[in-house]
Amino acid sequence: MTAGLDARVELALGAFRLDAALAAPAGGVTAVLGPSGSGKSTLLRCLAGLEPGARGRIAVGGEVWLDSARGVRVPAHRRRVGLVFQDSNLFPHLRVRGNLDYARRRARAAPALGDEIVTRTGVAPLLDRWPGSLSGGERQRVAIARALLAAPRLLLLDEPLAALDAPARAEILELLRALLAGSDVPVVYVTHARSEALQLADRLVLLDGGRVRDAGPVREVALRAEPGRFGGEDELGAVVEAEVVAVDDAHELSTLAFPGGALRVPGRLALGTRRRVEVLARDVSLALEEPRRTSILNVLPARVVEVRDAATPRPIVVLAVGETRLLARISRLSLEQLGIAPGVAVYAQVKAAAVVV
C-alpha cells in the first residue's frame, strides 16, 4: 500500500490518550467512525501535522511525514493535506475567488483539472462573493474546492456535513460521493454518523476511547460493529453489495442480486447498477419453516453461523445467505424456543432493506 496512507500515532492530551493505527489506500474513502470524544478529530489533526505532541509514524505515498523514532517531523505546510472541517474555515477577508487562489498559488503541482474542480463543485457562480454571505452548503462547496485546488496528497474531512441542514447535507453528500469516487489520493472521512460512513466509505475504522476497535471493508466491519457505540442502538445491520437485475415497473419494485440470494426493494432503480443495501438486524426475523402466505417479500433460506450476546434479552444471530452475511436481532425467548444455534437452517424474513447508495 505504498500509494496510500500508513499511520500509527500516539498522543496524550491530559487524561485522554490516542493510540491508533490507520491505513487508507489511495483512491478510496476510509471512514473513521466513533462517538464524540473518541479521538477522531485528534487523529485527523495528528495526520495534518497540527498536534505538536503527536508521536509515531505517518507515511503517505511512501513519503514519511512523521517518524518520532528517527526524529522526522514534516511541518503542516509541507505535508499538503486537504482539510475540510465542519465549519468551513474560509478566509473571511478574501472573496471566494481569493480563497481558491490562495490554494492554487501555493500548490506545488498545478492541480490536474483545476478549472474542472471549480465547475464540478459548483462554486463558479460564487467567485465574487464574500464567505460571510454564503449559506452553509455553499461554504462547504468552496472549502472542498479550495482543499482540492491545493493538489493535496491526502484528503482529510472532519464531519463536513455536521453543521448543515438536511437539504444542504444531502447536496454536499452527493457532491462528495461524485468527487471522492475518482480521487487518486487517500481520503479519510471522520464522522459520528453511521449513515454517512455507509454512503461514502469503502473501508471503515471504528474508533473508541482513542483506540481502533475494528477496521476493514465496510461490509465486514458493519457486521461486527457494536450497536450503541457506533451508530444508534437500532442501527446495527449488514451491508450488502448488490446489482440491480430486474425492475418490476407495475409494482415499483427492484430486484437486487447479491452473492447467495436476491432482495426486492421498493422503487425503480437503474438496471445493471451496483448498489449498497443496508439490512438492519431489527428488520430481520427468523422462522424454522418456510413462511407461506406472508406479506414479507424477502424470505431467504439461511444458516445460523453464530449467536452473539446470547445471555442478553436481545441476542444477535449471524446468518449466512450463500456467501453473504446478514444479522438478525431476536428475543432471547425466541432463540430458546426455536432452538437457534450455529448450524441450524432457518428462513430469514427481511421486513425492510434500505438502498444506501
Partner 1 sequence: MTADDRAALWLTFQLAAVSTAVLLLLGTPLAWWLARTRWRGRAIVEAAVALPLVLPPTVLGFYLLLALGPHGPLGALAAALGLPPLVFTFRGLVVGSVLYSLPFVVQPLQAAFESVGERVLAAAASLGAGPLDRFLTVAVPLARRGFAVAAVLGFAHTLGEFGVVLMIGGNIPGETRVASIAIYDRVETLDYAGAHRLSAILLATSFAILLFVYGGARRLGLRARA
**Nearest-approach distance from CB 304 to partner 1, in angstroms:** 49
Q: Is 81 in the site for partner 1 (CB under 8 A)?
A: yes
Here the cell at position 95 is 472573496
**Nearest-approach distance from CB 152 to partner 1, in angstroms:** 8
3-state secondary structure of 153: coil
> Interacting stretch for partner 1, rule CB under 8 A, among 5-13, 99-107, 161-169, 294-302?
99-107
Q: Is 123 in the site for partner 1 (CB under 8 A)?
A: no
3-state secondary structure of 240: strand
Which of 230, 196, 199, 197 shows the shortest CA–CA distance to 213? 230
Q: Which amino acid appears at position 299 of this protein?
A: V
Q: Is 65 in the site for partner 1 (CB under 8 A)?
A: no
Identified binder of partner 1 from the candidate list 12, 37, 72, 75, rule CB under 8 A: 75
**Nearest-approach distance from CB 172 to partner 1, in angstroms:** 18
Q: How far apart are CA 117 and CA 210, in angstroms?
A: 35
> Which residues make Cβ contacts (< 8 Å) with residue 20, sequence separation at least 6?
7, 8, 9, 39, 43, 207, 210, 211, 212
**Nearest-approach distance from CB 51 to partner 1, in angstroms:** 10
Identified binder of partner 1 from the candidate list 23, 76, 287, 355, rule CB under 8 A: 76
Q: Is 141 in the site for partner 1 (CB under 8 A)?
A: no
Residues of span 23-62 touching partner 1 by CB under 8 A = 45, 48-50
Is the CB of 48 or the CB of 244 nearer to partner 1? 48
Q: Are 230 and 33 in contact (CB under 8 A)?
A: yes
Q: How far apart are CA 67 and CA 59, in angstroms?
A: 8
Q: Which amino acid appears at position 228 of this protein?
A: G
Identified binder of partner 1 from the candidate list 40, 57, 80, 282, rule CB under 8 A: 80
Q: How far apart are CA 91 and CA 79, in angstroms?
A: 20
Q: Is 83 in the site for partner 1 (CB under 8 A)?
A: yes
**Nearest-approach distance from CB 49 to partner 1, in angstroms:** 7
Grid cell 447498477 in the structure block, residue = 273
The binding site for partner 1 (CB under 8 A) comprises 45, 48-50, 75-83, 85, 87, 89-93, 102-103, 106-108, 130, 132, 146-147, 150, 152
